[in-house]
Structure 1
Amino acid sequence: MSSMEVDQEGSSAQLGFRQMAFPPDVLARIAPDVSLQRHLAIGLRPSLRGFNEFKPVEISEGGLNASGQNTVAGSAIVKSGDTRVVCGITLGVVEENTVDQLLENEATNQETDGSLSNYTSVYPVVEIARGRSGAPTDEEMILSQKLYETILHNRLVHQDDLKIIVGTSVDGEVIYPDSSSPLLDSDLGELISKPKKNWSYVLYAHIKVFSRAGPLFDLCYSALVNALQNTRLPRAFVDDKATDIKIPVRSRGNFGHLKESYNLLLDQTISASLPVHGRLSSSSFGVVSYEAEDSNEPVSILLADLEGEAEESCAESKINVIASNDGELRHVSIVGGGALITKQVLKDALDISRMRGSN
């Protein structure tokens, strides 16, 4: 065997034992726990943010209100990193059931203004853009349900604010009960037909997410609350032809009445802002365990605003805190997982949430 052949075999053996190197994004997909532990060892996260640092969030009006009449009542756009969340509020109208006055007075005496039954919520539909269509995923349905319950239990929308003060159209002029029209003060004011039914608005939220890069509840909640603050409720009226008329009919010897229905129209020229009771912010955290070199026991580390596959898959323990602008805690949820949530970790999460809520 020649010396040249020996050198070739030795070089091939060295190539066989050479370690393979992966880019950070590829390593995060193949071994997310190894990627995260490597970054935690040097005191940084894969996103190069600090442990308690949140990504900057930009909030602006969506501008969807100008897309056409009776389309969108309020909108907002939230940007955080590469993620974009667009929220649009649309309106629906429902007829309220008439309640006996005596029963209504008893219910009013028993319930205070802060009772949960006096508040309502929004019906959100979350859609995450994935380049495909189909049935909603579990994540989308869970997000929609959690947003509905959060808005309701934090008492942001009062039922009385959604009641419609219905006007009447007389000879092309719309007259509202709380307006200062001369016809209401004249003798014709008593002859103006007033609807005998009551209506209320129902709020629907359509939330679209682009470039998902982590848990989405904070961004979707921020987009929904800001869209509600930009929502304007138009006035509504019935025309003078749609009055409550009973038409007698006879069929096979039986008598009855056909009741004409009201034609409720929206007046886009007159609108009012929707009152949102309170300003709340949501902060989400993940907890991971890190084995330090100088300690035999794992240390729990709090990571704010999870980002990337490595952090999202490894941080099985999660904390979500909703705080008001005065630092009051409105909601705290803790999900235990692979990492131990210590008292110090929980205290840090509450303090950071209070600070973010007051800003």
Structure 2
Amino acid sequence: MESPAPAPALSFPPQTFQKLSPSSYLLRHLQATPPTRPSGRSPSAFREPTVHTNSLSHAHGSAVVRTGDTAVVCGVRAEILSLKYGDGKSQGRVTVLRSNEDEELMNDEEDGGEGELRSRNLIVTNLELGTGCSRDYHPGPPSDFAQTTTSRLHRLILSSTSSLISPSSLRIIHDDEIKAYWVLYIDVLCISLDGNVLDTAWASIIAALRSTRLPRAFWDADSESVLCDPEMKLGLQLGPLCFTASFGVVSTGAEEDGEEQDGSKVVILSDPDEFEEGVCEEAVMICIREGGTIARIEKGGGLLCGMEGLGECVRMARSRYETWEKAVRDAV
């Protein structure tokens, strides 16, 4: 009598397990020897960036940056903001009470020009998620994620610690008096989203600003207005370069010799993709300035990453700075 055939084994492709139990799926990869992420990268590996500038013909500066499957386009457009003083001496869209404010702003460089940029609203930043950039994106009003990322990018631009844009390059002066400003509209469009859009968007802003060329603007006393010389293009006066590096932190709950360790093992994932961002319990962002100094640290989501972990993030961020700097300098 023939024995009954064994029941077929129940098996699923890895993608199914990834959707059913994403946390376990990631942890199984990290608990392997050596630890490997689902994408095949090691925990400390970053995705290689590509940078192209001057891709938009109708913008004063532009850049296309891609890291892995995350790709963004940044365009910089400039408009002239004329000042209309309380004495009616100048014409323009904005009325500013005549006082010693201009002189104070021009002489006060301790904050890196942050006060002048903020008070005049000289930088307008926006990030938009393009239709089809991600399977989780739904057309409609800006999502909380897009608005939060826009706010973070805007803070980085205006932060006195980064000192990215010098207000002096935006002033239009006549006889030591500010007559008008250039206002920069920085728009970032994410055309493909696979995690860590902040680092990619920030690099695109840096590259676009470095490629920006504005016509020479001057005050014409006869017409009492600002005129531009389209034949003479001037670049922006930018501060030292600075780049961000983002990390995800996850606890593996690893065990050794059958006994739980004193505290779960913490793994830091460099440049997390979209899947890893959804699983990680904590996020860390390090902004490194030229020379290796720390410009900004953002940390949220938990208490897994202590001082030792932050030190490791800083070390990797400094290494990542060198990669971004080379890519941007070669493109501009």
- State the TM bucket, normalised to the shorter chain: 0.7 to 0.9
Answering whether residue 229 of structure 2 is matched by residue 267 of structure 1, we say: yes
Answering whether residue 27 of structure 2 is matched by residue 34 of structure 1, we say: no
Separation of aligned partners in 1, 2:7 and 2:146: 51
Whether the 8 Å CA contact 1:118–1:158 is kept in 2: the answer is no
Aligned residue pairs total 296
Match of 1:209 in 2: 190
- Alignment deviations for residues 49-104 of structure 1 (CA, whole Å, 9 cap, x no partner): 1111111011121321xx3xxx3100011111122211010112212354656565
- Per the TM alignment, residue 231 of structure 1 is displaced from its structure 2 partner at its CA by 0.6
Answering whether residue 247 of structure 2 is matched by residue 279 of structure 1, we say: no
Distance 1:44 1:112, change over 3 A: closer
Cα RMSD for the two superposed structures: 2.9
Separation of aligned partners in 2, 1:111 and 1:56: 37
Secondary structure of 1:164 counterpart: strand
Q: Decide which structure has the larger Cα Rg and report it.
A: 1
Match of 1:122 in 2: 123
Separation of aligned partners in 1, 2:54 and 2:72: 10
Match of 1:305 in 2: 271
Decide which moves more: 30-39 or 218-227.
Answer: 30-39
Any gaps of 5 or more consecutive residues in structure 1?
Answer: 167-176, 178-195, 245-261
Match of 2:317 in 1: 353
Whether the 8 Å CA contact 1:286–1:306 is kept in 2: the answer is yes
Alignment of 1:104-183 (within 5 A): 104-105=102-103, 112=110, 114=112, 116-119=114-117, 122-131=123-132, 133-153=139-159, 154-164=162-172
- Per the TM alignment, residue 140 of structure 1 is displaced from its structure 2 partner at its CA by 1.0
Match of 1:51 in 2: 43
Distance 1:118 1:35, change over 3 A: same
Amino acid at match of 1:243: S
- Per the TM alignment, residue 129 of structure 1 is displaced from its structure 2 partner at its CA by 2.0
Whether the 8 Å CA contact 2:196–2:274 is kept in 1: the answer is no
Alignment of 1:190-269 (within 5 A): 198-236=179-217, 243=223, 262=225, 264-269=226-231
Secondary structure of 2:73 counterpart: strand
Secondary structure of 1:14 counterpart: coil
Secondary structure of 1:27 counterpart: helix
Separation of aligned partners in 2, 1:308 and 1:108: 44
- Per the TM alignment, residue 350 of structure 1 is displaced from its structure 2 partner at its CA by 1.2
Match of 1:187 in 2: none
**TM-score (normalised: structure 1):** 0.74
- Per the TM alignment, residue 112 of structure 1 is displaced from its structure 2 partner at its CA by 3.9
Separation of aligned partners in 1, 2:180 and 2:144: 34
Whether the 8 Å CA contact 1:61–1:230 is kept in 2: the answer is yes
Match of 2:282 in 1: 317
Match of 1:254 in 2: none
Whether the 8 Å CA contact 1:76–1:227 is kept in 2: the answer is yes
Whether the 8 Å CA contact 1:125–1:207 is kept in 2: the answer is yes
Identity %: 27
Distance 1:340 1:77, change over 3 A: same
Whether the 8 Å CA contact 2:242–2:288 is kept in 1: the answer is yes
Whether the 8 Å CA contact 1:74–1:89 is kept in 2: the answer is yes
Whether the 8 Å CA contact 1:327–1:358 is kept in 2: the answer is no
Whether the 8 Å CA contact 1:74–1:231 is kept in 2: the answer is yes
**TM-score (normalised: structure 2):** 0.79
Distance 1:102 1:218, change over 3 A: closer
Separation of aligned partners in 1, 2:111 and 2:246: 31
